[in-house]
Structure 1
Amino acid sequence: MARFEGKSIIVTGAASGIGRAAARLFAEEGGKVFLADWSESVLEAAEEIKAAGGTATGRKVDVGVEAETQAMVAAAKAAHGDLHIIFANAGVGGGRDSVLEGSADLWAETLRVNLIGPAMAIKHGAPLIQDSGGGAIVCTASVAGINSGAGSAHYSASKAGVMSLVKTAAQQLTGAGVRVNAVCPGIIETGMTKPVFDYAREKGKLDRVGRLNPLQRYGAPEEVARVALFLASEDASYLNGQSIAVDGGLSSSHPVTRQVYGQVAV
């Protein structure tokens, strides 16, 4: 497949996890990928793509700072010509703080990266995508933005904000030729969720991670990345303003006593 042949693509949060997987897949399908992250590891991720024969540029960026995002967009255009796609994936976690525990500073930092970051990517990226003949922006939200119970109060609110952002942006970019959608990952093994997985491995309970969804397992970064690539591609040419859950079915139900197929519920 070469759905992104000649396309100039920005992936934020590209040093690890979903972003790194997506950057690699975009490059494998012919894309010229600009990898951004506030970790120095983003430079290593770009070098891996180039070593495999792909086209990539890495840059250390704090996406929650508007000036840095604006410079990132300009640098991507300068490096690879035009701009067709942005995968605004960068984000920070939030532990398990309740609404009664998180400080105002913690709320502000989470919203700065998780919500303002994608907003600035849209603000500064959409005009260049329009100038390049149109394309797509994909943001990373979360199942935590769909229902409570999947994250802290501040993290969940930030991701619900991303879901609202893609709807508003899709409407306000009417006529620009820029589609805006989001992916909503469930429990995925990434750098952000590393403490959860490390604890489960230490306690010998890795098989319990993700057990609450109908597939009864956790997901891999590539499983979310492939959906992001679909949304960014012409295969999703009539999808706009949507948030797609990639969660093994977790968000498809209210809390219930689950009956396993073929077994009697207790």
Structure 2
Amino acid sequence: MSNTKQVAIITGAASGIGRATSIKLAENGYQVVLVDFNQALGEETLTLVQNNGGEGIFVKADVSKEADVENYVKMAVEAYGRIDVLFNNAGVIQMFAPFTTVNAEEYERIMSVNVKSVFLGMKYALPIMEKQGKGAIINTASSAGIRPEHSIAVYSASKHAVIGLTKGAAIEYAKKGIRINAICPGGIETAIFKTVADAFAGGGYVPEEISPMRMGRHGQPDEIAEVVLFLASDKASFMAGAVVSVDGSLTV
């Protein structure tokens, strides 16, 4: 018997935007495949999904490693027979620092997790979606991918690259029923966001310029999850290659 439910893979599902989106998609009838390197927190997200009446599995993965990405895609197909949505959300931040103090290892880490993971996720999910004749991919870029922030040049570059991958792939697959879009969150209250605030409070490096939150508040992960839900759905049927800012006018 074929699976009639929609299936969504969410990377970086252990916390923040990934956790909020996992719960939101499950609430809306998706079977979810939760992917993260942090097994304890990833399984905690799965429990929250299940306690809310949702259905899903957790797959531990380092999204910068090709074998791990190939495996989570394989596990999704083995569990549910299809992949309707891929939310390429896993990412790492760069702590604010003067440009020349960033070493090559840090550059490689940021690019591997933020860019290579998006490339690999699409590489392995697209053939499944192409066979189905339908699919939606949402890649998490950042407001810094639209307008760079002071003292995080490598992070900004990685998110510009995510936007480039999104647009390039969208052109290739638009006629094949697969919609590929990017979201650009900015100023969202997550655990990662808190580490930056803590560093400032603890006397760490503070950049010369910090962009203002014009709405007078920061965003919440659930507000991003609502946008992902929309982009995943047929309500966004004419959107492909879009770069959607969800940043309280940070990049205006």
Instruction: Name the TM-score, length of structure 2 as normaliser.
Output: 0.91
Asked if 1:106 is matched to 2:106, the reply is yes
Residue 9 of structure 2 aligns with an amino acid whose one-letter code is: I
Give the match's secondary structure for 2:192: coil
Partner of 2:187: 187
Q: 1:46 touches 1:56 (CA, 8 Å); kept in 2?
A: yes
Partner of 1:144: 144
Distance 2:248 2:192 in 1: 19
The offset of 1:49, in angstroms, is 0.8
Partner of 2:62: 62
The offset of 1:153, in angstroms, is 1.2
Distance 2:44 2:120 in 1: 25
User: Which deviations, in whole Å up to 9, do the C-alpha atoms of 1:9-28 show, x marking residues without a partner?
Assistant: 10000000000000000000
Residue 17 of structure 1 aligns with an amino acid whose one-letter code is: G
- Relative contact order higher in (CA < 8 Å, ≥ 6 apart): 2
The offset of 1:201, in angstroms, is 8.1
The offset of 1:151, in angstroms, is 5.9
Partner of 2:234: 234
Give the match's secondary structure for 2:175: coil
Distance 1:150 1:11 in 2: 30
Asked if 1:71 is matched to 2:81, the reply is no
Partner of 2:165: 165
Q: 2:174 touches 2:240 (CA, 8 Å); kept in 1?
A: no
Percent of aligned positions that are identical: 38
Residue 5 of structure 2 aligns with an amino acid whose one-letter code is: G
User: Which deviations, in whole Å up to 9, do the C-alpha atoms of 1:107-147 show, x marking residues without a partner?
Assistant: 11100010010111111001111222301000000011111
The offset of 1:48, in angstroms, is 1.7
Q: 1:118 touches 1:139 (CA, 8 Å); kept in 2?
A: yes
Alignment of 1:1-266 (within 5 A): 6-40=5-39, 41-149=41-149, 152-198=152-198, 212-252=212-252
Q: 2:140 touches 2:184 (CA, 8 Å); kept in 1?
A: yes
The offset of 1:163, in angstroms, is 0.7
Distance 2:245 2:22 in 1: 20
Q: 2:181 touches 2:243 (CA, 8 Å); kept in 1?
A: yes
Q: 1:144 touches 1:150 (CA, 8 Å); kept in 2?
A: no
**Structure 2, gaps ≥5 residues long:** 204-209
Distance 1:76 1:236 in 2: 24
Distance 2:147 2:87 in 1: 23
Distance 2:200 2:181 in 1: 32
**Structure 1, gaps ≥5 residues long:** 204-209, 253-266
User: Which deviations, in whole Å up to 9, do the C-alpha atoms of 1:212-233 show, x marking residues without a partner?
Assistant: 1321211100111111111111
Give the match's secondary structure for 2:176: coil
Which segment drifts farther, 210-219 or 98-107? 210-219
Q: 1:139 touches 1:182 (CA, 8 Å); kept in 2?
A: yes
Distance 2:145 2:151 in 1: 9
Larger radius of gyration: 1
Partner of 2:206: none
Distance 2:44 2:221 in 1: 18
Q: CA RMSD in A?
A: 1.9
Give the match's secondary structure for 2:26: helix
Distance 2:150 2:8 in 1: 30
Give the match's secondary structure for 1:94: coil
Instruction: Name the TM-score, length of structure 1 as normaliser.
Output: 0.86
